[in-house]
Amino acid sequence: SSCGHHVPVSCLVSFSWSHGLRSKPLSKEENLKLHGKCSNPNGPGHNYKAVVTVHGETDLVIRTVMNLTLLKAYMEEAVMQPLDPKTLDLGVPRFADVVSVTENVAVYIWENLRFLPVGMLYKKDELLSISENYLCPLGE
Protein backbone atom coordinates (compact mmCIF):
# COMPACT_ATOMS: atom_id res chain seq x y z
CA SER A 1 0.00 0.00 0.00
CA SER A 2 1.06 3.59 -0.43
CA CYS A 3 1.60 6.33 2.12
CA GLY A 4 0.36 9.11 -0.14
CA HIS A 5 3.59 10.94 -0.89
CA HIS A 6 3.90 11.52 -4.63
CA VAL A 7 7.61 11.61 -5.44
CA PRO A 8 9.62 11.78 -8.69
CA VAL A 9 12.83 9.72 -8.87
CA SER A 10 15.43 10.26 -11.61
CA CYS A 11 18.22 8.14 -13.01
CA LEU A 12 21.02 9.50 -15.21
CA VAL A 13 23.27 7.51 -17.50
CA SER A 14 26.13 8.79 -19.64
CA PHE A 15 26.86 7.15 -22.96
CA SER A 16 28.72 7.72 -26.21
CA TRP A 17 28.00 7.00 -29.84
CA SER A 18 28.92 8.14 -33.30
CA HIS A 19 26.89 8.53 -36.45
CA GLY A 20 26.99 9.79 -40.00
CA LEU A 21 23.98 11.93 -40.87
CA ARG A 22 22.85 10.80 -44.28
CA SER A 23 19.36 10.98 -45.71
CA LYS A 24 19.24 8.12 -48.22
CA PRO A 25 17.06 9.92 -50.79
CA LEU A 26 19.58 12.80 -50.96
CA SER A 27 22.83 12.91 -52.91
CA LYS A 28 26.22 13.14 -51.20
CA GLU A 29 26.32 16.86 -52.03
CA GLU A 30 22.80 17.46 -50.68
CA ASN A 31 23.63 15.62 -47.47
CA LEU A 32 26.82 17.66 -47.10
CA LYS A 33 24.84 20.89 -47.55
CA LEU A 34 22.16 19.77 -45.07
CA HIS A 35 24.28 18.05 -42.40
CA GLY A 36 27.74 19.58 -42.92
CA LYS A 37 30.68 17.63 -41.49
CA CYS A 38 28.22 15.27 -39.77
CA SER A 39 27.43 13.76 -43.17
CA ASN A 40 30.89 12.11 -43.17
CA PRO A 41 30.32 8.32 -43.37
CA ASN A 42 32.57 7.83 -40.34
CA GLY A 43 30.61 10.53 -38.54
CA PRO A 44 31.41 12.49 -35.42
CA GLY A 45 31.30 11.03 -31.93
CA HIS A 46 29.17 12.45 -29.14
CA ASN A 47 28.83 12.11 -25.39
CA TYR A 48 25.27 12.08 -24.11
CA LYS A 49 23.38 12.01 -20.85
CA ALA A 50 19.95 10.47 -20.59
CA VAL A 51 17.81 11.40 -17.62
CA VAL A 52 14.69 9.37 -17.00
CA THR A 53 12.26 10.21 -14.23
CA VAL A 54 9.61 7.93 -12.83
CA HIS A 55 6.96 9.02 -10.38
CA GLY A 56 4.36 7.56 -8.11
CA GLU A 57 3.33 7.25 -4.52
CA THR A 58 5.89 5.94 -2.07
CA ASP A 59 5.31 2.45 -0.74
CA LEU A 60 4.23 2.36 2.91
CA VAL A 61 6.73 -0.35 3.86
CA ILE A 62 9.88 0.47 1.90
CA ARG A 63 9.16 4.22 1.39
CA THR A 64 10.32 4.28 -2.23
CA VAL A 65 8.61 4.88 -5.55
CA MET A 66 10.73 2.31 -7.35
CA ASN A 67 13.77 0.24 -6.50
CA LEU A 68 16.71 2.27 -7.91
CA THR A 69 18.60 -0.89 -8.82
CA LEU A 70 15.65 -1.88 -11.00
CA LEU A 71 15.45 1.60 -12.58
CA LYS A 72 19.19 1.43 -13.37
CA ALA A 73 18.65 -2.00 -14.94
CA TYR A 74 15.88 -0.53 -17.13
CA MET A 75 18.24 2.26 -18.20
CA GLU A 76 20.93 -0.30 -19.00
CA GLU A 77 18.49 -2.18 -21.23
CA ALA A 78 16.90 0.90 -22.86
CA VAL A 79 19.99 3.06 -23.39
CA MET A 80 23.34 1.50 -22.66
CA GLN A 81 23.02 -1.91 -24.34
CA PRO A 82 21.58 -0.68 -27.65
CA LEU A 83 23.54 2.59 -27.97
CA ASP A 84 26.83 2.65 -26.03
CA PRO A 85 29.35 2.68 -27.69
CA LYS A 86 27.98 2.21 -31.16
CA THR A 87 28.07 3.77 -34.59
CA LEU A 88 24.31 4.19 -34.83
CA ASP A 89 24.01 3.89 -38.60
CA LEU A 90 25.85 0.56 -38.58
CA GLY A 91 25.22 -0.93 -35.15
CA VAL A 92 21.56 -0.13 -34.38
CA PRO A 93 19.05 -1.57 -36.86
CA ARG A 94 16.55 1.28 -36.30
CA PHE A 95 19.03 3.79 -37.73
CA ALA A 96 19.81 1.87 -40.90
CA ASP A 97 16.89 3.71 -42.50
CA VAL A 98 16.18 6.50 -40.00
CA VAL A 99 18.54 9.49 -39.90
CA SER A 100 20.26 9.45 -36.51
CA VAL A 101 19.61 13.08 -35.56
CA THR A 102 19.25 13.74 -31.86
CA GLU A 103 15.46 13.97 -32.04
CA ASN A 104 15.23 10.47 -33.51
CA VAL A 105 17.59 9.10 -30.86
CA ALA A 106 15.43 10.67 -28.13
CA VAL A 107 12.31 9.03 -29.59
CA TYR A 108 14.17 5.70 -29.81
CA ILE A 109 15.07 5.90 -26.11
CA TRP A 110 11.52 6.93 -25.20
CA GLU A 111 10.12 3.94 -27.06
CA ASN A 112 12.64 1.64 -25.38
CA LEU A 113 11.38 2.78 -21.98
CA ARG A 114 7.87 1.46 -22.63
CA PHE A 115 8.68 -1.61 -20.51
CA LEU A 116 8.69 0.48 -17.33
CA PRO A 117 5.70 -0.25 -15.11
CA VAL A 118 2.55 1.35 -16.53
CA GLY A 119 2.04 4.92 -15.38
CA MET A 120 5.49 5.36 -13.85
CA LEU A 121 7.29 7.18 -16.67
CA TYR A 122 7.12 10.90 -16.02
CA LYS A 123 6.13 12.23 -19.42
CA LYS A 124 7.06 15.88 -18.99
CA ASP A 125 10.61 15.39 -17.79
CA GLU A 126 13.84 15.95 -19.68
CA LEU A 127 14.52 12.64 -21.33
CA LEU A 128 17.75 13.27 -23.13
CA SER A 129 20.28 16.03 -22.72
CA ILE A 130 23.16 16.45 -25.09
CA SER A 131 25.84 19.02 -24.27
CA GLU A 132 23.87 22.25 -24.26
CA ASN A 133 20.88 20.76 -26.11
CA TYR A 134 17.89 19.42 -24.26
CA LEU A 135 15.11 17.30 -25.70
CA CYS A 136 11.90 16.45 -24.00
CA PRO A 137 9.74 13.94 -25.88
CA LEU A 138 6.29 14.16 -24.37
CA GLY A 139 5.09 10.75 -25.50
CA GLU A 140 1.43 9.85 -25.51
Tens digit of each residue's pLDDT (9 = 90 or more) over 42-79: 777 888 888 888 888 887 777 788 888 988 998 899 88
Which residues, including other chains, have CB under 8 Å from residue 90's CB and lie 6 or more apart?
none
Domain 6-132 has CATH 3.30.479.10: yes
Q: Supply the pLDDT for residue 2.
A: 52
Q: Supply the pLDDT for residue 123.
A: 58
Task: Give dist(CA 131, CA 133) in Å, integer.
Answer: 6
More reliable by pLDDT, 15 or 117: 15
The mean pLDDT of the chain is 79
Q: Supply the pLDDT for residue 129.
A: 46
Tens digit of each residue's pLDDT (9 = 90 or more) over 78-135: 889 999 998 898 899 999 889 888 888 888 988 888 778 777 876 554 545 455 555 5
Q: Supply the pLDDT for residue 126.
A: 53
pTM: 0.76
Q: Supply the pLDDT for residue 93.
A: 95
Q: Supply the pLDDT for residue 3.
A: 59
Structural domain boundaries in the chain: 6-132
